[in-house]
Amino acid sequence: MDQEQHTTTDNKVPNKNLEVLKAQFPQCFTKDGQFDLEKFKQELSANEVDFYKESYGLDWLGKSYARLLASDEATTLLREDEAHNQKPENKTSQNLLLKGDNLEVLKHLSNAYYEKVKMIYIDPPYNTGSDGFVYADDRKFTVQELRQLAGVDEEKAKRILEFTQSKSNSHSAWLTFMYPRLYIARQLMRQDGVIFISIDDNEVAQLKILMDEVFGEENFIASFLWEKRTNRENRKVVSTRHDYILSYARTVNEGHRPISQLPMSEKALSNYKNPDNDARGLWKSDPATAQAGHGTSGQFYELTAPNGTKHNLESGRCWLYTEEAMNSAIQDNRIWFGKNGNGVPRVKTYLESKDRGLTPETILFAEDVGTTESAKNQIKELFEGVSVFETPKSVSLIKRIMQMGVANDIILDFFAGSGSTGDAVMQLNAEDGGNRKYVLVQLPEVLDKKKDKTAYDFVKNELGVAEPTIFEITKERLIRAAKKVKQEVISSKVFDTGNEIKKLAQQLNLENKKEKLDALTSKMENLKNQDLGFRIFETMPIWEDYGLEADELDVQTQLFDESKLTEEDIKALLTTWKTHDTIPLTSDLAPTDLGGYTGHYGSNKLYLMDKGFGTDHLKALLERIDSDKEFNPTSVIAFGYHFESKALREVSENIKSYSNKKNIDIDFITRY
């Protein structure tokens, strides 16, 4: 099949909901693909679906504009930082640091990472008036364009454009800023995914209703309170010691726990012992009685211990088991009567049979997860005494959130700031042998020479960056945190493998010892091979005049001069296209020789980006399809500007007519 695509200038978030509607209600779409809402209502009314005239929701000036931004085309390309990514520690890393406006980056990720993210944690601007938040938007619409695109009247279009172009920090501006980012973020989440958002009093009310709209009120999990400071602020009317963390699931399913239980603490684990060398391993004793109101008639009796001692029930209590079941448990050594056999009977609870977890609580205390001050000191220590970031999040806080949300999957943070989330991922992986991967996004926000003097001087003088930005701090934080994890956490604290296995062997039931020891050995291997690198990609503007009239003019008379594209530009185009084609940024395309012409192959897609593709190269391509069992392209994608019309026709016709030995149906796509 032949196709012509203008992906570069029409790279937008796929509307999966619309695709579902088209599949189920094709009669509700016009011939040009527009959704007919009235016809849809009639269709549902025929099936006895009621439409209420009144409803509850959140509206604000700019909501229609926010929806437009969520579905608007990306205005950038993605390019790779090859110098950084080719370093040995980064070359095969599955971690990502993305530089650019997070709305643009999320749009680029929307195909390759659709429903791939297990957990999102973000710490967006709180809009306090002093945190520097102002609405910034480089999209330029006229009043008439916005009227047509957003479906609003002229007066509303004027008011929207006023605040989008005036650096507003109103509630409306903040909601307009957040909506498209959250809308796309939801599409990136797996069906069992969760999102956590830090916020304070200024926008928590608006955020809660906005999240109800984007994620669905039924998918709300909890509003956590984080004790961010322990000292009292006497300069304020009320000393505020907490922030909020709102949590939502992508989908709450019946019988599915949207967040995990927390691991048992060392203190809780210390209660499990094995004084009688029980072959079933470590255990602790729990009461063998329950409240009488919960028992049946068969649970009231006089219990006889193995040594003949009689045990009667206290008033208002019953035994946990019937007499027959209790005697069976005693015979099986599951009831403990103390070292001398004279104690009050108690039931053994075995460590290996217990769900080793604690239900998370909504209050996150400073002593457990740290404070703003401890987080600031952490990063200060990492940067050898230099305070490069004023408001970092506590690594311990993010680790606690990750323990609730994800074990071995992707964590996304598109307000990366100082990079605390990446630091937390590496530390927690080192502690529990997990294999979490992070995707961080940070705007290259310029540091103020006066306001951010310490950070500015550090980035300029120590890192040698001419124009210091927050992104450089994020990058350096990840490098230093990785080094610390490798040197201190892994080398010093974890790799006492022999003692770990010996200790575990003493605890385990013989029946599952091998399985558990294999699991521990695997954990140790994961730790030795922990991914402590990261790859960097950044956004760049699409070239001026690119794609003008591409669907009307002949390739040779394009207004865009393709000869000005450099090798780096072509690489950026390829990176953008492969991501659009659902290939993750961490999956490299393989250079593929086609008789002297180099194509780029991966995920059954072959990209022909360079000039000079001729008949001999086409012959080599067809022969390779037949002879190379690892080469099975279902799509051949050619960069239209680098092919003459005659060459495009030749490639297309030969691919369509060629009966390859593997019977692969191959689409030929000309892309601009």
What tens digit of pLDDT does each residue of 577-623 get?
999 999 999 999 999 999 999 999 999 999 999 999 999 999 999 99
Largest CA distance in the chain: 103
Angle at 573 between CA 567 and CA 574, to 5 degrees: 90
Q: For position 500, what pLDDT does the model report?
A: 54
Sequence-distant (6+) residues with CB within 8 A of 545 are 559, 560, 561
Q: For position 139, what pLDDT does the model report?
A: 78
Q: Between 119 and 551, where is the model more confident?
A: 119
Sequence-distant (6+) residues with CB within 8 A of 596 are 616, 617, 620
Q: State yes or no: pLDDT of 451 exceeds 50.
A: yes
Q: Specify whether the CB–CB gap between 244 and 209 falls below 8 A.
A: no
Q: Specify whether the CB–CB gap between 97 and 478 falls below 8 A.
A: yes
Q: State yes or no: pLDDT of 13 exceeds 50.
A: yes
In a domain, 157, yes or no: yes
Helix ranges (H only) for 113-169 are: 143-150, 154-164
Confidence of residue 83 (pLDDT cuts 50, 70, 90): very high
Q: State yes or no: pLDDT of 46 exceeds 70.
A: no
Q: Specify whether the CB–CB gap between 179 and 212 falls below 8 A.
A: no
Q: For position 158, what pLDDT does the model report?
A: 87
Q: State yes or no: pLDDT of 347 exceeds 90.
A: yes
Q: State yes or no: pLDDT of 501 exceeds 60.
A: no
Q: Specify whether the CB–CB gap between 481 and 532 falls below 8 A.
A: no
Among 315, 338, 355, the domain boundary falls at: 355
Q: Between 471 and 555, where is the model more confident?
A: 471
Among 355, 370, 386, the domain boundary falls at: 355
Q: Between 306 and 27, where is the model more confident?
A: 306
C-alpha Rg value of the chain to the nearest Å? 31
Confidence of residue 35 (pLDDT cuts 50, 70, 90): confident
Q: For position 528, what pLDDT does the model report?
A: 73
Cα–Cα distance measured from residue 104 to residue 69, given in angstroms and rounded to the nearest whole number:
10
Cα–Cα distance measured from residue 509 to residue 267, given in angstroms and rounded to the nearest whole number:
22
Q: For position 560, what pLDDT does the model report?
A: 76
Average pLDDT over residues 53-74: 85
In a domain, 202, yes or no: no
Angle at 250 between CA 246 and CA 253, to 5 degrees: 110
368: its two tokens: 């457990």
Cα–Cα distance measured from residue 277 to residue 109, given in angstroms and rounded to the nearest whole number:
55
Confidence of residue 502 (pLDDT cuts 50, 70, 90): low
Query: At 541, phi and psi to the nearest 5?
Result: -65, 145
Q: For position 532, what pLDDT does the model report?
A: 95
In a domain, 304, yes or no: yes
In a domain, 374, yes or no: no
Among residues 356, 351, 305, 352, which one has the least CA distance to residue 326? 305
Q: State yes or no: pLDDT of 553 exceeds 50.
A: no
Give the chain's length. 672
User: Could you tell me what percent of the chain has a pLDDT over 70?
Assistant: 89
- The full DSSP string for 387-423 is ---SSPPPHHHHHHHHHHH-SSSEEEESS-TTTHHHH
Sequence-distant (6+) residues with CB within 8 A of 509 are 279, 280, 281, 352
Q: For position 597, what pLDDT does the model report?
A: 97
Q: For position 355, what pLDDT does the model report?
A: 56
In a domain, 141, yes or no: yes
Query: At 84, phi and psi to the nearest 5?
Result: -75, -45
In a domain, 68, yes or no: no
Query: Which helix (DSSP H) or strand (DSSP E) does residue 541 occupy?
Result: strand 535-541
Average pLDDT over residues 116-137: 88
* Model confidence pLDDT, tens digit, residues 317-337: 999 999 999 999 999 999 999
Confidence of residue 555 (pLDDT cuts 50, 70, 90): very low
Average pLDDT over residues 259-271: 81
Average pLDDT over residues 133-145: 81
Q: Strand 335-336 relative to strand 96-99: parallel, antiparallel, unpaired?
A: unpaired
Cα–Cα distance measured from residue 347 to residue 285, given in angstroms and rounded to the nearest whole number:
5
Domain holding 587, by residue range, is 543-671
Q: How far is CA 263 from CA 169, 478, 497, in A?
A: 41, 26, 21
Q: For position 407, what pLDDT does the model report?
A: 76
Among 355, 376, 393, the domain boundary falls at: 355
User: Could you tell me what percent of the chain has a pLDDT over 90?
Assistant: 63
Query: At 264, phi and psi to the nearest 5?
Result: -65, 140
Per the structure, the count of domains in the chain is: 3
In a domain, 636, yes or no: yes
Distance of CA 78 to the CA centre of its chain: 19
In a domain, 251, yes or no: no
> What is the b/e burial string over 457-475, where b = at least 16 CB atoms within 10 angstroms of the residue's CB?
ebbbeeeebeebbbbbbbb
Q: Do 667 and 547 sit in the same domain of this protein?
A: yes
Average pLDDT over residues 488-495: 59
Q: State yes or no: pLDDT of 525 exceeds 80.
A: no
Confidence of residue 572 (pLDDT cuts 50, 70, 90): very high
Q: For position 154, what pLDDT does the model report?
A: 86
Mean pLDDT value across the chain: 88
